[in-house]
Amino acid sequence: MNNSRIIISLDYANVEPVLELVGQLDPQKCRVKVGKELFTRAGPALIEKLVSKNFDVFLDLKFHDIPNTVARACSAAADLGVWMLNVHASGGRAMLHSAREAIDKSSHQPWLIAVTVLTSLSAQDLNELGIASSVDEQVGRLARLTQANGLDGIVCSAQEVSFVRRQMGSDFKLVTPGIRPAGSAGDDQKRIMTPAEAITSGSDYLVIGRPITQAKEPMQALLDIEAEIEAV
Ligand code: C5P
Asked if 28 and 38 count as a contact pair (C-beta separation under 8 A), the reply is no
SS3 (DSSP) at 194: coil
Q: Distance between CA atoms of 151 and 189, rounded to whole angstroms?
A: 28
Ranges of each domain in the chain: 6-231
Tell whether ligand 1 has an atom less than 6 A from the beta carbon of residue 208: yes
Q: Which residue has the least CA distance to atom 18 on ligand 1?
A: 177
What's the 105 CA to ligand 1 centre distance in angstroms?
A: 31
What does the radius of gyration of the chain's CA atoms come to, in whole angstroms? 17
Q: Which CATH superfamily is domain 6-231 in?
A: Aldolase class I (3.20.20.70)
Please identify which of the residues 36, 62, 173, 216 carries the catalytic annotation.
Answer: 62
Q: Distance between CA atoms of 88 and 201, rounded to whole angstroms?
A: 23
pLDDT 10s digit of each residue in the chain, 232 long? 899 999 999 999 999 999 999 999 999 999 999 999 999 999 999 999 999 999 999 999 999 999 999 999 999 999 999 999 999 999 999 999 999 999 999 999 999 999 999 999 999 999 999 999 999 999 999 999 999 999 999 999 999 999 999 999 999 999 999 999 988 888 988 889 999 999 999 999 999 999 999 999 999 999 999 999 999 9
Tell whether ligand 1 has an atom less than 6 A from the beta carbon of residue 35: yes
**Distance between alpha carbon 47 and the CA centroid of its chain, in Å?**
15
The preferred substitution site among 38, 207, 208, 214 for testing ligand 1, maximizing ligand atoms within 8 Å of CB, is 207
